[in-house]
Amino acid sequence: MTQSARNAKFMTGLYPIVMRYLRVKKKVARMRKQLKSVDREAYYDERTAMWDEAHEREAKAIRKLFDSMGGLYNKLAQDWARLGVPSCRDAFDATRLHLTMP
C-alpha cells in the first residue's frame, strides 16, 4: 500500500471520530448556556460525565483504527498511551503492549 493510500485510509477512519467529538463539544456548549448560570456544580458534573462517556466510546474506535493501520501507527498509539493521551490510554492496555520506558 502506498503512503498516500495509507494516509487516505487513516484520515477516512479518523474523520468520524473527530466529528463525534465535535458533536459532544457542541452539546456541552449548549448545556453550558442553559445550566451554568443556574447550577454551576451540576454543569461541571454533567460536562465531565459527557466527556468521560465520549472518551470511553471513542477509545474503542481509535484502537480499531490504529490496529488496522499497523506499523508506525501502532507505535504512535503506544507512545500516546504511555504519555497519557486519554483515549489512547484507554484503548491500548499497557500490559498488553511491550513499551520501552525511558
Please give the residue that has the higher pLDDT: either 8 or 81: 8
- How far CA 2 is from CA of 7, 70, 72, 77, 97, in Å, comes to 9, 14, 14, 21, 27
Whole-model pTM over 0.85: no
* Domain spans in the chain, listed from the N-terminal domain onward: 3-91
The pLDDT value recorded for residue 96 is 43
pLDDT single digits (tens) 9-50: 888 988 999 999 999 999 999 888 888 778 888 888 999 999
The pLDDT value recorded for residue 48 is 92
